[in-house]
Amino acid sequence: MHDSLDFRSEFDEKKPSSDAAIYIYEFPASDNRPALKIYWYEGGRMPKLPEGVLSDSAGMKSELAKGGCMMVGDKNTMVSPGMRPNNPRLVDHWEEISCSPLEPTTPRAVGNPVQEIMAAIRGDIPKCGSNFDCAAPLTEMVLLGTIAIRSGKRVIYDPASMTFSVSSLNAYVKEPVRKGWEYGEELA
């Protein structure tokens, strides 16, 4: 990976593991969305941290040492320590924003996950909050990074046809079906 993208020394003096990686996902502009570039760091690689995290005034730096998610935007950065986004917060102006939160625009969960899926099955709600509309594309994106690392190649993928520009990588998308498990193959 490109060393100029790894700013681990700003965070601490630990060295990244030998299998550490930085994935760069590039999404073209579509409909009313501009082009988007996402950097995914793992194995001890770290991005350049915003000044608000480096100053550690809110304890974010020490929390991120254990892992987490950081989304850097043009106007602010959102940090969510740990593997689950249970406590996300903005780096700049968090105190003033958290004092007057916005009204939720996403429907809240109906009880626990089992209750929510049962409510969706009964038709009480249109769909579960934790539906596959978000989870499937995110999983697909993460798996593309895995394919890039395994192959050692730059991956250019067409999600509509589920194919790669390098045809040898297409075997990673749909592996051969084992004997006895062929049922439904013609549906895909």
Question: Alpha-carbon distance 69 to 85, whole Å?
Answer: 8
Which of the listed ranges 61-65, 102-106, 146-150, 174-178 does the model predict with the highest average pLDDT? 146-150
Would you state the torsion angle of the CA atoms of residues 116, 118, 120, 121, taken in this order, to the nearest 10 degrees?
170
Please indicate, yes or no, whether the overall pTM of this predicted structure exceeds 0.85.
Answer: no
Does pLDDT of 15 surpass 80? Answer: no
pLDDT at residue 56 in the model: 60
Joined tokens for residue 155: 């991956």
Q: Given this model, what pLDDT does residue 188 score?
A: 55
For the chain, the average pLDDT equals 80
Tell whether the model's pLDDT for residue 171 goes beyond 60.
Answer: yes
Q: How confident is the model at residue 135 (pLDDT cuts 50, 70, 90)?
A: confident
The residues pairing with 89 across neighbouring beta strands, listed in sequence order, are 79
In sequence order, which ranges of the chain are alpha helices (DSSP H)? 8-11, 51-54, 60-64, 94-99, 113-122, 132-151
The CB-side HSE value for 167 (13 A sphere, CA atoms) comes to: 0
